[in-house]
Amino acid sequence: MANWKDVIVGPQTPLEQVIACIDKSALQCAVVVNENGSLAGMVTDGDIRRAILRRASLQTPIEQVMNPSPTSVAATMDRDEMLALMRRRAFHHLPLVDGAGRVVGLATLDQLLGAVERPNWIVLMAGGLGTRLRPLTEDLPKPLLPVGGKPVLENIVESFAEQGFRRIFVAVNYKAEMIRQYFGSGERWGVQMHYLDEQQPLGTAGALSLLPEQPTEPMIVMNGDLLTRTNFANLLQFHATHAACATMAVREYGQQVPYGVLTLDGTRICSIEEKPITKHFVSAGIYALAPEALEFVTAQTFLDMPTLFGRLIAARKNTAAYPLREYWVDIGRLEELERAQREWVRETR
């Protein structure tokens, strides 16, 4: 079990060090204390991701990123009172302080509730042809290609099951029967597996029109050829915090220009930057969608996620970007599949 003392940091601790601290502890937060041990602030996983979107330096002191006025409670507070407060205020962490305001503990929602089962549906897009991986996909659909001694899709299902998600829909098309036969009802993994049969390819969003009913909670939609150590509860919390209709997980992608790049003022050369790297945020193939987003999906019609987000933006619905910083690999190309086969077992230890 994680020790709350492992996530205690000082106001001047660099962002990079705090990220490492949070990742190691698995508590998804850090508590910032002054020299005398009094509470100075709180840093959540969401605070870190917002700093990444602002392109904050990894050497930024954490006092520039933290919430300087977090709610705290007396360590003597009754457990039921703590739980009621956390539910009422949608808190996942609550610093515990003594009579002098010094931090003496950290209450977490998961610890107070025990094992958590999450009501959110998972939709995995697993109907692609896998043409870039031929000849490997001539006999097997891409989701059944092995990584770490088991199919890619099994690794994905296990990750969701471990995090308390129980209802999983899989959109299938190419060699669908092989996927059905392997996973069946999902009982072996402690989940309920359902299948969305695409009679024709519907894209990364179109298969959502095949869901048997309207969900009542936000759902996670993910490409079935991704391996990641993402904490999906953090994604849903970020989605809720930003009151988003749709949230797209994004990764920073750098591209180097192979030449010197000039800045001009008319014909005058102002500066030359040799082989600069331009950085952009790109889609990571993981999304959180509110139930209302399904109103923008046309039944039995090809629709990809960028187009769905475009429709939501045009309708002035709130959309958000959630930066991924955890391990992530797309096995759509042979070199990435081979990299995953080398790395995945190490990442899951």
Whether 5 shows a pLDDT value over 80: the answer reads: yes
pLDDT of residue 347: 61
Q: Using the 8-state DSSP alphabet, how is residue 38 labeled?
A: B
pLDDT of residue 32: 93
Q: Round the average pLDDT of the chain to a whole number and report it.
A: 88
Grade residue 111 by pLDDT with cuts at 50, 70 and 90: confident
CATH of region 4-113 = 3.10.580.10
Beta bridge partners of 320: 247
Query: By percentage, how much of the chain surpasses pLDDT 70?
Result: 97
pLDDT of residue 349: 53
Whether 115 shows a pLDDT value over 70: the answer reads: no
Q: What is the pLDDT of residues 210-267, one digit of tens each?
A: 999 999 999 999 998 898 988 898 899 899 989 999 999 999 888 888 899 999 988 8
pLDDT of residue 162: 85
pLDDT of residue 331: 83
The CATH class that applies to domain 122-347 reads alpha beta
Indicate where the chain has its CATH 3.10.580.10 domain(s): 4-113
Indicate where the chain has its CATH 3.90.550.10 domain(s): 122-347
Whether 304 shows a pLDDT value over 60: the answer reads: yes
* Residue pair 267/117 in contact by the 8 Å Cβ criterion: no
With b for 16 or more beta-carbon neighbours within 10 A and e for fewer, the 301-320 pattern comes to eebebebbbebbeeeebebb
Q: What is the pLDDT of residues 326-335, one digit of tens each?
A: 889 888 788 8
Residue range 123-127: mean pLDDT, rounded = 91
Tokens standing for 146? 């092995």
Classified as helix, coil or strand, 95 is strand
Ordered DSSP codes for 220-281: EEEETTEEE---HHHHHHHHHHTT-SEEEEEEEEEEE-SSEEEEEETTEEEEEEES-EEEEE
What is d(CA 316, CA 11) in angstroms, rounded to the nearest whole number? Answer: 38
Q: What is the pLDDT of residues 48-59, one digit of tens each?
A: 989 988 888 889
